[in-house]
Amino acid sequence: MLWLDCPHCGRRPLDEFSFGGERRSVPDSITDADERDFDEVWVFENPDGLTTERWFHAAGCRRWLTVRRDTAIDQVVDVVP
Amino acid sequence: MAVVSEYTDTLLPIRWPDERRSSYDVVIVGGGGHGLSTAYHLATRQGITNVAVLEADYIASGNTGRNTTIIRANYGIPEAIRFYQHSLEMYQRLEDETGAAILHQTKGIVWLAHTEMAMRTERARCLMNTANGAQTFMRTPAELKELIPELDLTGGGRYPVLGGSHHVEGATARHDRVAWAYASGASQRGVDIFQHTPVTGLLRDGDRVVGVETADGPFAAGTVLSAVGGRVTEMTAHAGVRLPVRTHPLHAFVTNDYAQGFSPIVASTELMCYVSQTERGQMLIGAEFDAQPSYSRQSSFAALRSYSYKITRLLPFLRDLRILRTWAGICDISADFSPILGFTGVDGFLVTTGWGTWGFKAIPAGGEAMAELIATGRPPALIAPFALDRFRRDHVLADQGSAGTR
Ligand SMILES: Cc1cc2nc3c(=O)[nH]c(=O)nc-3n(C[C@H](O)[C@H](O)[C@H](O)COP(=O)(O)OP(=O)(O)OC[C@H]3O[C@@H](n4cnc5c(N)ncnc54)[C@H](O)[C@@H]3O)c2cc1C
Ligand SMILES: [Zn+2]
């Protein structure tokens, strides 16, 4: 992965962005309050495939973007404006 | 040619099983260094030989055969320093113990500091290391120049070398040979190693894990250990175990031969890059893992460019060499940059993970400790702090600064 299409700035080198982590929520199947806390703070889905995540355009418009990416091949699928 | 045949001639044999037994006391998923070392130590230290190691591909095809082989104990927290120092000492004895030529070489490793802040970190590291049994000492720029004549003390005019810490027992060893040594020793004592046998699921009996599923049918087991490197999230998910681990690619490359000997391993934690010379004379260069998680083992131009830029600031002679080979591995990086090993909360199912970009050095001690845990049901003191439940108990072992350069 070398480039990211920023909806505000256009096609920019990946170096300009910082990775902000996967977008996720604790599954409803986890009901215990302590377990929900553990999951919320520490756990990663870490999928081998499609993931939705946040990227920050640090050296550009300084806005947060929501990006869908295929982690199996490390390619952006699309950027959700 | 002589070197090549001597190399293969001195490989110890592995006994490959003809067929599988109806059940095993222990099934280890993953034939990387950690899986094989655990099998070896079960057989040699615990007298448990009814063990199978199931490897999806060929042994050491994962990170164990892809790493830059740095062995060191100069970590930043006492728990880690004690653990890695023990592993480093086990490596020093491994050739004698197994009879395998693993090409272990003590070279010393230097961590350079380019700012006052980094100098403080390295001074603290030296004190913390020596207090916990690892030998790490501060060096002045003049002393560093003597150790590494090629070093540009101005850091290309941008990263001046103010000093550095010198971890004198830092070493390297041939990674595939380490895996092979443990595989040979384990198999000769009765451990069955199956290659090309991916595990596709876990067998459950109520809440307990009682074996694994493969394309060749099930393997029944008293205990199952997951030792699958970067593929750990999907493996533990079969048992409903959710982990604070992300999988990130790490790249490395070698250049053509550098005619002079280049003795120590050199690293910069601020620049996050490091270099050593292989036994064949090539310069081996690595740096930080990709910021975004991924399961891709494709070498990336971005990584090559960034690694080359950084390392040539410090060692300008590298500009005259060419990149020969590049590769990548996918690393299981935990949220606090410390390993996770032991119980999972599911009976019969253990894990060794979180080895990230730094777990080659841990293969001897990690396997020894996991074997003891499996045999006795109790985590030995050396690894007790690294249990998964530390995250639930708010006892995380944050040590990112020591993981930075492998
Ligand atoms: C480029 C690079 C440089 C590194 N440099 C260093 C260094 O200098 N020093 C250091 O200490 N560490 C270093 N590391 C880290 C080190 O390589 C790893 O931490 C270590 O090898 C982990 O060993 P392992 O046995 O846990 O995993 P692996 O060696 O990855 O073994 C896991 C095995 O499990 C198998 N597997 C996966 N899924 C399944 C399944 N479903 N069924 C069966 N088998 C399965 C895989 O095929 C693989 O062989 C580096 C890593 C990389 C990538
Ligand atoms: Zn932008």
For the Cβ of B144 lying below 6 angstroms from any atom of ligand 1, the answer is no
Find the B144 Cα to ligand 2 centroid distance in Å. Answer: 43
For the Cβ of B184 lying below 6 angstroms from any atom of ligand 1, the answer is no
- Cβ–Cβ under 8 Å, residues B68 and B276: yes
Taking Cα atoms as reference points, which of B228, B236, B295 lies closest to residue B55? B228
- Which residue's alpha carbon is nearest to atom 41 within ligand 1? B199
What CATH number is associated with residue A39?
A: 3.30.2270.10
Give how many domains chain A has, as a whole number.
Answer: 1
Mean pLDDT (whole number) for B30-37: 98
Beta strands B51-54; A64-70: pairing state:
unpaired
Q: How much is the mean pLDDT over chain B?
A: 95
Q: In this model, does residue B8 exceed pLDDT 80?
A: no
Res B1: pLDDT: 42
* Beta-carbon contacts of residue B361 (< 8 Å; ≥ 6 apart): B70, B71, B72, B73, B84, B87, B88, B91
Q: In this model, does residue B3 exceed pLDDT 80?
A: no
The whole-angstrom separation of Cα B84 and Cα B125 is 14
The whole-angstrom separation of Cα B262 and Cα B266 is 10
Residues of A at the B interface (Cβ-Cβ below 8 Å)? 1-2, 14-15, 18-19, 22, 34, 38-39, 41-48, 51, 53, 69, 71-74
In DSSP terms, A64 is beta-bridged to: A56
Mean pLDDT (whole number) for B86-103: 96
Q: Please count the residues of chain A.
A: 81
Range of the domain at A16: 3-80
- Cβ–Cβ under 8 Å, residues B403 and B356: yes
The DSSP letter of residue B296 is: -
Paired tokens of B346: 């599911």
CB contact under 8 A, A38 and B234: no
Q: What is the pLDDT of residues B173-189, one digit of tens each?
A: 999 999 999 999 999 99
For the Cβ of B64 lying below 6 angstroms from any atom of ligand 1, the answer is yes
Runs of H (alpha helix) within B244-341? 301-314
Beta strands B217-226; B349-353: pairing state:
parallel
Q: Structure pTM?
A: 0.96
Nearest listed ligand to the Cα of residue A67: 2
Q: What is the pLDDT of residues A29-76, one digit of tens each?
A: 999 999 999 999 999 999 999 999 999 999 999 999 999 999 999 999
Q: Is B304 on the interface with A (CB under 8 A)?
A: no
Res B234: pLDDT: 98
Domain architecture of chain B: domains with CATH = 21-67+175-245+336-402 (3.50.50.60), 105-170+247-333 (3.30.9.10)
Q: Which of B27-31, B131-135, B303-307 has the lowest mean pLDDT?
A: B303-307
CB contact under 8 A, B243 and A44: yes
CB atoms within 10 A of CB B234: 14
In DSSP terms, B386 is beta-bridged to: none
Find the A54 Cα to ligand 2 centroid distance in Å. Answer: 13
Q: In this model, does residue A81 exceed pLDDT 90?
A: no
Confidence at B122, pLDDT banded by 50, 70, 90: very high
Q: In this model, does residue B303 exceed pLDDT 90?
A: no
Q: What is the pLDDT of residues B352-404, one digit of tens each?
A: 999 999 999 999 999 999 999 999 999 999 999 999 999 999 899 988 878 76
Q: Give residue for tokens 């020793």.
A: B185
Report chain A residues whose CB lies below 8 A from the CB of B231: 48
- Which residue's alpha carbon is nearest to atom 31 within ligand 1? B32
CB contact under 8 A, A14 and B302: yes
Res B155: pLDDT: 96
Nearest listed ligand to the Cα of residue A63: 2
Res B4: pLDDT: 54
Q: What is the pLDDT of residues B244-262, one digit of tens each?
A: 999 999 999 999 999 999 9
Interface predicted TM-score (ipTM) of this complex, two decimals: 0.96
Helices B363-376 and B33-45, axial angle in degrees (round to 10): 50
A interface test, pick of B232, B289, B294 with most A CB neighbours within 10 Å: B294
Confidence at B301, pLDDT banded by 50, 70, 90: confident
Instruction: State which amino acid sits at residue B390.
Output: R
Find the A56 Cα to ligand 2 centroid distance in Å. Answer: 8
Res B7: pLDDT: 64
Which of B249, B293, B296 is closest, CB to CB, to A46?
Answer: B293
Mean pLDDT (whole number) for B143-160: 96
CB contact under 8 A, B295 and A45: no
Instruction: Choose the residue to mutate in B63, B178, B284 for probing ligand 1, maximizing ligand atoms within 8 Å of C-beta.
Output: B63
Q: What is the pLDDT of residues B213-227, one digit of tens each?
A: 999 999 999 999 999
Nearest listed ligand to the Cα of residue B299: 1
For the Cβ of B249 lying below 6 angstroms from any atom of ligand 1, the answer is no
Q: Is B398 on the interface with A (CB under 8 A)?
A: no
Res B92: pLDDT: 98
Report chain B residues whose CB lies below 8 A from the CB of A33: none
